[in-house]
A and B are shown apart, each in its own frame.
Chain A
Amino acid sequence: MALAKYLFCSFALLMAGCATMQLPQNLSTAVLDSDDLQTVSDGLPSYLLLVDALTLTYPKNEQLQLTAASLNSAYAGVFIPENQSTRRKQMSLKALQYAFDAFCLHDKNACALRELDIEALAQELPRWNKEKDLPFLYTLGTAWASYIQVNSDDWLVIAELGKAEAILKQVVALQPDYELGTAQLYLGVMNSILPPSLGGKPDVARDYYEAALQAGDGKNLIIYVYYASNFARLIFDQELHDSLLNTALNLEADVPGYTLQNTFAQKLARDLLATSNDYF
Chain B
Amino acid sequence: MRSFIVAMLFIAMLAPAQALTLKISTEYPDGNFVLKELRQAGDDVEKRTDGRIRFKFYPGGVMGNAAAVLRKIRIGQLHGAFIQSGALANLNPDSQVLNAPLLFRNFEEVDIVRAQLDSEIEKGYQQSGWHTFGLVEGGFAYAMTNKPATNLSVLREQKIWLPANDPLSEKIASTFKINPIVLNISDVLTALQTGAIDAIVAPPVGAIALQWHSKLGYLTDAPFMYTYGIVAVSEKALRKVSVEDLQILTEEFTAASQSIDQQARRDNLDAFDALQQLGIEVVNLSSQARNSIELEAQGATQELIRSGEFGSEIYQHVVDVLSEYRNE
Q: Which residues of A contact B (CB under 8 A)?
A: 117-119, 154-156, 158-159, 161-162, 193-201, 233-236, 279
Task: Tell whether, in the assembled complex, residue A196 and residue B270 are in contact, meaning their CB atoms are under 8 Å apart.
Answer: no
Q: A194-B29, A194-B209, A236-B60 are in contact. Are A155 and B188 (CB under 8 A)?
A: no
Q: Quick check: A200 and B186 within 8 Å, CB to CB? A: yes
Q: Name the B residues within 8 Å of A233 (CB-CB).
A: 30
Contact with B208, one of A117, A159, A193, A236 (Cβ below 8 angstroms): A159
Range of interface residues on B (Cβ < 8 Å): 20 to 34
List A contacts of B188 (CB < 8 A).
199
Contacting pair B185 A159 (CB below 8 A): no
Q: List 28 A-B contacts (CB under 8 A).
A: A117-B279, A118-B211, A154-B270, A154-B274, A155-B204, A155-B205, A155-B267, A155-B270, A155-B271, A155-B273, A155-B274, A156-B274, A158-B208, A159-B274, A159-B278, A194-B29, A195-B27, A195-B60, A195-B61, A197-B61, A198-B61, A199-B186, A199-B210, A234-B59, A235-B60, A235-B62, A236-B62, A279-B30
A241 to chain B, nearest CB (A): 12
- Separation of A155 and B267 alpha carbons in the complex (Å): 8
B65 within 8 A of A: yes
Q: Evaluate contact between A118 and B29: CB separation under 8 angstroms.
A: no
In the bound complex, how far is the Cα of B28 from the Cα of A199, in angstroms? 11
Q: Do A156 and B278 touch across chains, with their CB atoms under 8 A apart?
A: yes
Interface of A is mostly: loop
Q: Which residues of B are at the interface with A, using a C-beta cutoff of 8 A?
A: 27-30, 58-62, 65, 184-186, 188, 204-206, 208-211, 213-214, 267, 270-271, 273-275, 277-279
Q: Is the CB of B29 within 8 A of A158?
A: no
For A154, what are the chain B residues with a Cβ–Cβ distance below 8 Å?
A: 270, 274
Q: Are B186 and A196 in contact (CB under 8 A)?
A: yes
CB-contact partner of B65 in A197, A200, A236, under 8 A: A197
* Docked complex Cα distance between A170 and B235 (Å): 53
- Chain B residues in 8 Å Cβ range of A162: 211, 214
Q: How far in angstroms is the closest Cβ of chain B from A162?
A: 4
